[in-house]
Each structure stands twice: as C-alpha cells, then as structure tokens.
Amino acid sequence: MKNCAYLSKLTIAGWAFLLLGWFGCRENTSPTGLQYVRLSGPTMGTAYHIQYGDAAGRDFQPSIDSLLAAINLEVSTYIDSSTISRFNQAKDTFDLGFGMREYSKHLTDRNRHFFKNYLFARVLHERTNGFFEPTIMPLVNYWGFGYTEKKPVEKIDSFEIAKRMHFVGFDKVKMVTQTGRDHLLLIKSNPNTQLDFSAIAKGYAVDEVGHLLESRGIKDYLVEIGGETTARGLNSRGQIWSIGINTPRPDADFEDFTQIVLLKDQAIATSGNYRQFYEKDGQKFSHIINPKTGFPEHSDLLSVSVVADDCMTADGYATSFFVMGKEQGFELAQRLENIEALFIYSQKDGTFGIRMTDNFGKMLKHN
C-alpha cells in the first residue's frame, strides 16, 4: 500500500496547486468578496496544501497542524507509540479504552481517529470482497514498503510469503465488549496480525481538516494531502475547483496532466504503481500488494482515480479498484452509488487506454 508516515499512494491527483497556481500565503480579495488563504506544511510523510475563502482572512494553520498531529498519533505505523502501533505490538487483546455508548454519544475523544479508520476499513473490506485488506502490513513490510527497513527483496522467498499470508485476513481481528466493563476490545487470533490504514488515512485526514474548516464557518475550500483532495464551494476566481490527474509515467512531471477534473463539493483520490516501486532483475515491484496472492499487483492497469462524496471513500476505493484490476474493479465501480472512476491502462502499442464510469466524463474539463 503506501507510506513513510505515509508515502503517498501517489502524489498524483492533486498537485492541484500546480494547476491552480501556488504563490505566497494569501491573495487579494476574490470576486466572491472573500480573502483566500493558502497554507502548506509537512504531514504523513508528504505535504498538505490548503486554500480557503474567509472574509476575515483568518489563519487556521495552528489548529490544522494540531489536528494532523493528533491523527498521526493514532494511525501512523511509523510512530511506535501510536494507537495502531500499540495494537500491532499487542499479542492478543487491545483495549480501545471506551465503550460504544461513549463513542456514539461523542463522550470521548480517546482513539477516535483510529476507531473511525477501523470501522470504515470493515465496511470497505466487505464491499470489495476482501480486496481492501487492512491486515496487509506483514506483507507490505516483507516487500520493503512498510515501516521496517526499506530495501528491495533480493530473492523472493515463497515460503516466507506463504507464512505471512497466514497473518493476513480481517477475520483474524474481532471486536467484543469486555465483560463487566463497557470497554471495546479488539482481539487477534494471531499475534502476528497487524493493521495498516495507509490506504485510507490520508483521505480521512483530508476530510477531518475539511470538517475543521466548516466548523469555523468556511464554505469554500480545497484540502489536499499527498494527492488526496476534497473541494467545496468555489475557488478564488469564483469558479469550480480544477484538479489535475497526473500522466501515469515514472518520468512525468507533477504538472504533466492527462486529464483535468472539475470538482465541486466532492473528493478525488488516485492510486497507481508508477511512482512508488523498485526494479530487481528486470522485474518491477510496486507498493500495492494483492492480499489474495501476497505479491505486488502486476497488470496493465496504471492508475485509478475515484471521485466520491468524501475523501476517505475515494482513497479506499482507488486502492481497492487498482488491486482488483481493470475488469473486476471497473465492474464494481459501475455498480456503486455516488462513485465515479477513471481507469488508465497501457495498451500493446504503448499508448494509454482510458475507461471511465458513466458520469465521470461529465466532470472532465474539455479545452
């Protein structure tokens, strides 16, 4: 999957700010009568870029940085003391420290970010028939893309892969209520089972930053973290936000776009295998691992971009569709409500093929 506290799934979809122009930290009053504030900073092993319109031009960066730090402390596998790392280190039982009643009534913030990712991972795992697999971490580490030492596999050990496959499977993690206490427990059936939310965590963080801005009365904004992007309202020109989808080639510049999407009150995320990979003996190994085989996914599919109502959903389905492949992934994308997807694949003559769901084309900007 991805990471370096999260090496982006790709920095693909959104280097939107290269498309929109990224100059200074604030521009003059826009046609909408708002001051558009621009913020950027490091997070999750990549960077965030944010624009929002505010009549008073308020600076929310300290609050945003605090929120992102709190999310990292729960879902980053690169922080030994994070919630997810403590679960991964547990032998069998992990106490979430709250009960469902406390959580549902918003009576606690303890491990809230971790739990939201866990619950959505459950939903996505079921909807994709296990192609979205949050217990993939042992295999991600084996192939050199996880939180352990990052180095190419010198010689593929099929026995080691088969052994690690026994640690993988969301059915190996059960949620129960502790007897005598209203605490939720996560129980592992195998002590080597580990969680990895990196296929949804950046999208989740994008959504959470958006919620923070909305709580401050902001209606027009764009939030991007490592390519995962959500847009609401209008940009500083009073227009719908324009988001570029990167050309899926390793040598492509970040401003080399194959498509431009007009995004209004929606989110977009892209998954692909052409940025984060290594080659060994002429064979390419990408960071996206197929949980059904234990091996990096290898096909003619180059990237999948997904538009959804929220970024966490777009993020998770982009990875899932890519792992499922061009045919099976597209078939599911067509069936799902409020999901649109663009599949880019290589053809035998070296050109790109494009396949998109019914309404994706309506969002594309045509020159």
pLDDT band at 305 (very low <50, low <70, confident <90, very high): very high
> Which residue has better confidence, 330 or 283?
330
Indicate if 180 and 204 belong to the same structural domain: no
Provide, rounded to the nearest whole percent, the portion of the chain with pLDDT above 70: 81
The CA distance from 289 to 94, in Å, is 26
Query: Using one digit for the tens of pLDDT, what is the confidence trace for 223-260?
Result: 999 999 999 999 999 999 999 887 665 555 555 567 88
Q: Report yes or no: 308 and 338 within 8 Å, Cβ to Cβ.
A: yes
Indicate if 20 and 98 belong to the same structural domain: no
The CA distance from 321 to 303, in Å, is 9
pLDDT band at 302 (very low <50, low <70, confident <90, very high): confident
- Which DSSP string corresponds to 338-355? T-EEEEEEE-TTS-EEEE
> What pLDDT does 283 receive?
54
The CA distance from 176 to 102, in Å, is 15
User: Which of 19-28, 74-83, 154-163, 283-292 is predicted most confidently?
Assistant: 74-83
Give one word for 14, left, alpha or beta, with left for phi > 0 and alpha for psi -120 to 50.
alpha
> Which residue has better confidence, 56 or 22?
56
Query: Using one digit for the tens of pLDDT, what is the confidence trace for 103-144?
Result: 887 878 899 999 999 999 999 999 999 999 999 988 888 777
pLDDT band at 33 (very low <50, low <70, confident <90, very high): confident
Does 143 fall in a domain? no
Domain encompassing residue 102: 84-138+148-188
Q: Tokens 């303890």, residue?
A: 110
Chain mean pLDDT for the chain: 85
Q: Tokens 């777009």, residue?
A: 314
> What pLDDT does 105 receive?
79
Does 240 fall in a domain? yes
The CA distance from 323 to 82, in Å, is 27
Helices (H), the chain: 16-20, 61-75, 83-89, 100-104, 112-127, 137-142, 158-165, 201-215, 311-324, 326-335
Indicate if 32 and 103 belong to the same structural domain: no
The CA distance from 210 to 311, in Å, is 10
Indicate if 168 and 278 belong to the same structural domain: no
Is the per-residue pLDDT at 88 higher than 90?
Answer: yes
> What pLDDT does 13 receive?
39
Indicate if 204 and 172 belong to the same structural domain: no
Could you tell me which residues come within 8 angstroms of residue 128 by beta carbon, excluding any fewer than 6 positions away? 317, 320, 324, 332
Q: Tell the burial category of 44 from Cβ atoms under 10 Å away from its Cβ (0-12, 13-18, 19+).
A: buried
Query: Range with the lowest mean pLDDT among 149-153, 314-318, 319-323?
Result: 149-153
Does 354 fall in a domain? yes
Q: Mean pLDDT throughout 336-349? A: 92
Integer CA distances (angstroms), 17 to 123, 154, 193, in order: 32, 38, 39
Query: Using one digit for the tens of pLDDT, what is the confidence trace for 147-205?
Result: 766 666 667 788 888 999 999 999 999 999 987 778 899 999 999 999 999 999 999 99
Q: Which CATH number does the domain housing residue 310 bear?
A: 3.10.520.10
Indicate if 317 and 345 belong to the same structural domain: yes
> What pLDDT does 154 receive?
65
Is the per-residue pLDDT at 345 higher than 50?
Answer: yes
Q: What is the largest CA-CA distance in the chain?
A: 65
> What pLDDT does 182 receive?
81
Indicate if 349 and 211 belong to the same structural domain: yes
Query: Range with the lowest mean pLDDT among 75-84, 127-136, 174-183, 268-277?
Result: 268-277
**Domain total for the chain?**
2
Per DSSP, the three-state class of 262 is: strand
Does 79 fall in a domain? no
328-334 long-range CB contacts below 8 Å, 24 or more apart?
Answer: 329/301, 329/304, 330/355, 330/357, 332/127, 332/128, 333/306, 333/357, 334/358
Q: Tokens 């099976």, residue?
A: 328
The CA distance from 45 to 225, in Å, is 10
Does 74 fall in a domain? no
pLDDT band at 75 (very low <50, low <70, confident <90, very high): very high
| Structure tokens given for 335 | 């069936």
